[in-house]
Amino acid sequence: MHPSKHIIIIWKSAKLSMIIRLEKIKVKFKETTILPKIIPREEIESLLNYMYSHEHRNSNEKMYKYWLRDISVIETLFATGARVYEVSNIKIDCINLNTGLIKIMGKGGKERYIQIASAEILNILKKYYKHNSEAIQESGFFFVNSRGNRYTEYSIRLMLKKYAKLAGIERNITPHMFRHSFATYLIEEGVDVSCVQQILGHSSIKTTQIYIHIAAKKQAEILREMHPRKYMNILRVA
């Protein structure tokens, strides 16, 4: 055999061996955890206070109906932690205004029940229903627009953006941020993560556990700023 053919065979064999070795190498990249964005408590407070201070009871009935609907939607988002499309699709026969129990239709048609425990929020929801009952009954949806149709996710996003701007909030607030805030603040208050998982309708607890990272971040901030050692006159080692 000609020497050059030997060189070609050896080169091809070495190349094939290298390809096989490379195929066996499994490279694992650590995924970066992106923490959900939440709304600071003071901004939620500012938003709700603005809306309640601009109640349109003394204006025309049409404006008052819209105001009742909008404050009801925002209160429901924060009270339940539900996704915006879940709130938008609440049917009239899925909400009990006496007990505060709401049946939510989640991802994949999965049902779950969420309790609105605040008497103040229930009172607002009852007022909203009283002034919009005819349109609600005709559409079948609890939250309706000016034409008597379902109050869509897009309309809710625009509404929230409008009120946030009017309240002087510079942050871009979205409906889903209420869900993140709901979960984070419950965990900060010591609510068990499995309970939060059930309320949010997460199929995996791993999805819910991301809110623990946010709560831990807040805890670190509190301890850094408020721990009594910060105010003690302790000698430092050089």
The residue among 62 and 57 whose pLDDT is bigger is 62
Four-point Cα dihedral 232, 233, 237, 238, nearest 10: 120
pTM for the full predicted model: 0.75
- Catalytic residues, which ones? 83, 107, 176, 179, 202, 211
Instruction: Please write the tens of the pLDDT for every residue from 91-128.
Output: 999 999 999 999 988 887 888 888 888 999 999 999 99
The DSSP code for 228 is G
Q: What is the pLDDT of residue 112?
A: 87
Dihedrals phi, psi of 141, to nearest 5 degrees: -100, 145
More confidently predicted of 118 and 22:
118
Q: What confidence tens digit (pLDDT) does each residue in 189-218 have? A: 877 777 777 777 766 667 666 666 666 666
pLDDT of residue 1: 55
Q: What CATH number has the domain spanning 41-171?
A: 1.10.443.10
The residues facing 24 across adjacent strands are none
Instruction: Report the C-alpha dihedral over residues 3, 5, 6, 9, rounded to 10 degrees.
Output: 170
- The SS3 of residue 54 is coil
